[in-house]
Amino acid sequence: MIEGIHVLENIISIGKQDILENYFKGTTVKWKEVNNLWYFKDVKSPQSVIISDEIKNKVIINLIEEIKNNALVRLGLKELQSYRAKVNKLTANKQYSQFNNKVSMHIDRDIKHVSMVYYISNADGDTKFYNLLNGNIQNFVEYVKNKEFNRFQEIRAITPNKGSIVIFDGYTPHHSSYPTVTDRYVINYNVVPDLTSKTLI
């Protein structure tokens, strides 16, 4: 859908970055814990999430939307459909660093789309990206379930940098890494753009 992995810095103003960071690090946010490795039922790796529809603060809702819109404009893309905006929190804990490898690799959904990850704060815990060396991306889930990780090659790792956003084809295998120093907060978007408007091909 788009080629390459694109990182845009300061996608919103520093003041707005601070508002978002302070909100999600605050005590009023109600996180819901889910299993980060949904395809391995016997392995538990926690992740806390909030779906944007659950957020009632209009300032925060508008900022989440502004980030998406600014990113699309910067890339010369127009939105046809947005599937979700989800806020993820990974708590810094060394015991979960065992999942900082291909075992947590995934694609967000099995449709053509663009994925975007906005970094709410600075953190350790890179986002890692992979190429499929052999096979069909449509069989991705089966490859992961069968632990056929030799099919994949890491191509890039991006360290969370507050105010930046990484944008990539939704069929690019990727995974977050559990931080060991400071909690990791991101907003994840899945968007279908109007391909007739794209500049990144």
Predicted pLDDT of residue 196: 66
Cα-based distances in Å from 92 to 26, 40, 181, 183: 16, 22, 6, 5
Q: Convert the pLDDT of each residue in 81-116 to its tens digit.
A: 888 799 999 999 888 888 788 888 888 888 889 999
Kindly report whether the global pTM for this prediction surpasses the value 0.75. Answer: yes
Predicted pLDDT of residue 94: 87
For residue 100, give its domain range.
5-192
Domain tally, the chain: 1
The pLDDT of 11-16, averaged and rounded, is 98
C-alpha closest to that of 172 among 126, 110, 129, 127: 129
The enclosing domain of 83 has a CATH number of 2.60.120.620
What does the alpha-carbon distance between residue 48 and residue 57 come to, in Å, rounded to a whole number?
Answer: 19
